Amino acid sequence: MELFDIYDDDRNRTGRTAERNQKLKDGEYQLIVHVNIMNTQNQLLIQQRQPHKQDFPGYWDISVGGGVRAGETSRDAAEREVFEELGLAIDLAETVPYFWIHFPNGFADEYIVHQDLELDMLNLQQTEVQNVKWASYDEVMSMLTEGTFFPYHQSMLELIFSFSEIGEKT
């Protein structure tokens, strides 16, 4: 049984927990993390969800995403999820989310990692991820329009790519 902390409107832990996939009441929120891995060609590492996944089977998605477990920090969850899904150890000790998104019953912390990776060096979590590839902004937007990419709001994906460009220039 996987538990997560319940947060209030101001992103404070309430001291209560809920089970994964438990429906939350109004005013209760969970915290999730997204890690967006960008290469020096301003391409996003995207993963294809397994066809047996309950939600959006077979869709392409951002590099990594997952829930923050009870007692875990956003940063700890981001590092754990990247290792679980891609077999890649990253250190986010000096990193904060680039931005966060408020969605119904939750908050998503958005991390951006700049790293060139050889895809054959990744160890994909077979229960979650069937494939990975690098994709440009135009490719991701085309997939979003075609309905083959997880249906994030377009502005979120635009932000990811725009922050990546800023990161390359610094």
Residue 9 vs residue 164, higher pLDDT: 9
Structurally, the chain folds into a number of domains equal to 1
Average pLDDT rounded to a whole number, residues 49-67: 96
Q: Is residue 169 part of a domain?
A: no
pLDDT band (50, 70, 90) for residue 165: low
pLDDT band (50, 70, 90) for residue 169: very low
Q: Is residue 170 part of a domain?
A: no
Query: Is the pLDDT confidence value at 21 over 80?
Result: yes
CATH number at residue 24: 3.90.79.10
pLDDT band (50, 70, 90) for residue 1: confident
Type and span of the H or E element at 64: strand 64-67
Q: Is residue 168 part of a domain?
A: no
Parent domain of 16 = 3-163
Q: Find the helix packing angle between 154-169 and 137-146, rounded to 10°.
A: 170
Give tens-digit pLDDT for 120-144: 999 999 999 999 999 999 999 999 9
Q: Say if residue 40 is exposed, middle or buried (CB neighbours under 10 Å; 0-12, 13-18, 19+).
A: exposed
pLDDT band (50, 70, 90) for residue 75: very high
